[in-house]
Each structure stands twice: as structure tokens, then as C-alpha cells.
Amino acid sequence: MMRPYVQFQMTSIIVRLRRALGYVCAALLLSGCSDLPASLKSLNDYQQRVTNTLDQPAVSFTVPNYPRLPASRDLQVEVPRVSISLLDAWRIESCPAAQLIAERNSALGKLSQGVTRYYGDLLLVDAGRECVATLRAEDPNLAERLAAALQQKAATLEAARQQAIASDDALRHALRMGANGLLEADDAVFAEQLAALEQVVYALEQSQPQSDAARVEAALQTIHQSDYLPSLWRTLQEQSAYLAQLATITDNLAERAGCDAPSRPQRAEILHTVFLKFFIGEVQPQLAAVTAQGQRAAVVLQRLQALTSQPLLQDYLAQLQGSVAQLRVATKTHVQPWQNFFTACEFTPGG
């Protein structure tokens, strides 16, 4: 059951160690230089043109306090073990459930964890119920013992789901804040990653298996092998933070542009061009693309938030969802002084 992904999980420890080392190296590099995050290149180019026109110092980006995914050790849930005797396991070998039990007890099966293990539990309980129905006429006593074990197993499913949400490596990778933001939004990559995340959340929402195991396995691998969603979360944070930090360049914009003079000064004309060409023409489409992707992702995050009973994780997911609204508000707040500037300097709307 899900053998390829279990093997993939075995290698993920090495991948996480390498990734952690990469994060440390990136932090060291950032501490030694002032490279701007990739997600802010266009915004920074725009603000430098504004500050140059206004003869004031450029704004340096101050890194915000990013939300942090709670450590899995702080989200651990105890899942009671349920078993049947070896003799009973042998007696039901003709049932599909017997193969699932054998795979679970194998060396590879014992390594399964997270969503893989939870979905395996759903499959086992579902197959076990079919086995009970078949055995009732053949061996009522065995059927009753198996039914009792299945009832106990079903009672552990909620704890297993909570443990899966808390500990699954692929899911945690998709939810954590990325080391870097996005250079640009990619709708094709985003659609693939969001569909995979939605498939994983859908699997967690079920009390009975509704998808084949291979589809869940493929979705887990897809989100585990990409940094797009982690980078999206960081981009939402970076762009909203930087827009807030740019409030100093739009303060009293009309007055500093000299729009109180009898004729409209050249500085105002240059600012008008900069805003239309670089903010409206380049920055705003990027902000809109990231906001749109964040909004779509927030719907899936909200479903996952409804599944978890862990306050720490609920709060973190709420912060990721809230970053979409923060960017929308930050964008609107940044544009408002420019609208005042257009009115004060008597520029026609849209031109």
C-alpha cells in the first residue's frame, strides 16, 4: 500500500537535512549582504524611481516577523494501537483486508506515517467491514471478533487524522513559510500544486476512502517536491510588508510634487508617468496575480483549518489566510495617496 511514497518518505529525512542546511547558508548570506527578495524587485524599482524624483533616500526593506509553522513535536497526538491475533489474521487471509494488514505489518509498512498512514487506516477499516459481512455466514465468532477490532480501530481514526495533519512531511512542507518569495506568479505551477494540496485535504476530510490510494500518494509527492506554495506564503508577507514600509514615499505626495504651484511642475509629470508605467503597468499586475492565487489557496487552507483541533496550527493557518487580506489592504492603502495626487495635480483619470 503506497509503497513508492513510503520509500520517498525514507529519503525525505536526507532532503530535510539538506534543505535545513540550505536555509542556514541563505541566512548567513543575507546577513552579509542586502540582496532584495525576488518578490520585491519590481516594487523596489518603482519606489526608487519615485524617491529619485522626490530627491529623498530610497526605502530599504525591513524583514517582517513571518508566521512560523508549529513544530510537529508540539502537535503530537497519541493514537491507540489496535490489533487482532495472528491466528485470526491467518483465518481471514482470503479477505482483501488481510493483504492490507500484512502490508501494514511489513518493515516498509511500519515506516508509513502522516496522511499515508491515515488513508491506509481508512482503507483497512473499509476492507475489514466487507470481510465481516462475508464471514458472518462462514464463521460468526470470527466475524464478531473482527467486527469488535474494527470498531476499536474506527474509534482511533480521528486521533489518526489529527496526527496525520500534525506530522505529515509533505503537508508540512507545503504549509511552511518558504526561504524565498516568488520572482513571478506562475498560474500553471500554482494550479498543479493547489490541486495536489486540495487532494490531500480531501483525503483527510473523508471518514471512508473516496479516492484510490495512488492518487493520494501522487498528490503528496507533488506538494513535497515543490517550493511553490511555501514561496507564495512568503511572497504575500513580503509584498504587504514592503507596501506598508513605502508609506513614507507617498506622504504629502501632492505637496512634495509642487502641485500647489500656478502651473503643474515637471516633477509632478514625472511622478505621474512613473506611477502609470511602473506601478500600474508592472507592479499592480504582479500584486493582483499573487493576491488571486492566495485567495484560491486560502479556501483550501480554511478547509484544513476546520479539520484540525490543534489551536497552534489553527492560528498559523489563520495567519496564512489573513496574509491575503493584508496584501489587498496594503495595495489599496498605497494607491490612495496617488489618487489624491492625481486630483490635486489635476490629472485626468486613466491618463
DSSP per-residue letters across 115-162: HHHHHHHHHHHHHHHHHHHHHHHH-HHHHHHHHHHHHHHHHTHHHHHH
Percent of the chain with pLDDT over 90: 59
| Spatial distance between the Cα atoms of 131 and 88, rounded to a whole number of angstroms | 12
Q: What are phi and psi of 129, to 5 degrees?
A: -65, -40
- Residue holding cell 496617488? 338
Which own/partner contact pairs does 248-254 have at CB distance under 8 Å and 24+ positions apart? 248/59, 249/47, 249/50, 249/51, 249/54, 249/56, 249/59, 250/50, 250/334, 250/337, 250/338, 250/341, 251/337, 253/337, 253/338, 253/340, 253/341, 254/340, 254/341, 254/344, 254/345
- pLDDT at site 109: 55
- pLDDT at site 247: 95
Q: What is the pLDDT of residues 104-116, one digit of tens each?
A: 765 565 556 789 8
**If you ran DSSP here, which 8-state letter would residue 185 be given?**
-
Task: Count CB neighbours of 40 within 10 A.
Answer: 21
Are the CB atoms for 77 and 166 separated by under 8 Å? yes
**If you ran DSSP here, which 8-state letter would residue 10 be given?**
H
**In sequence order, which residues have a C-beta less than 8 Å from that of residue 263 and are 6 or more positions away?**
none
Task: Give whole-number Cα distances, 26 to 21, 52, 169, 247, 300, in Å.
Answer: 9, 30, 22, 29, 30
Ranges of residues in the chain with a pLDDT under 50 are: 1-3, 6, 10-11, 13-17, 20-34
Q: The whole model's pTM is what?
A: 0.85
- pLDDT at site 7: 52
For residues 163, 166, 167, 170, the Cα torsion angle rounded to the nearest 10 degrees is 120
Q: How many CA atoms lie within 13 A of 32 on its CB side?
A: 6
- pLDDT at site 186: 98
Say whether 33 sits in a helix, a strand or coil: coil
| Spatial distance between the Cα atoms of 94 and 139, rounded to a whole number of angstroms | 13
**In sequence order, which residues have a C-beta less than 8 Å from that of residue 341 and are 6 or more positions away?**
250, 253, 254, 257, 259, 268, 271, 275, 347
Closest of 348, 282, 311 to residue 41, by C-alpha: 282
**In sequence order, which residues have a C-beta less than 8 Å from that of residue 250 and are 6 or more positions away?**
50, 334, 337, 338, 341
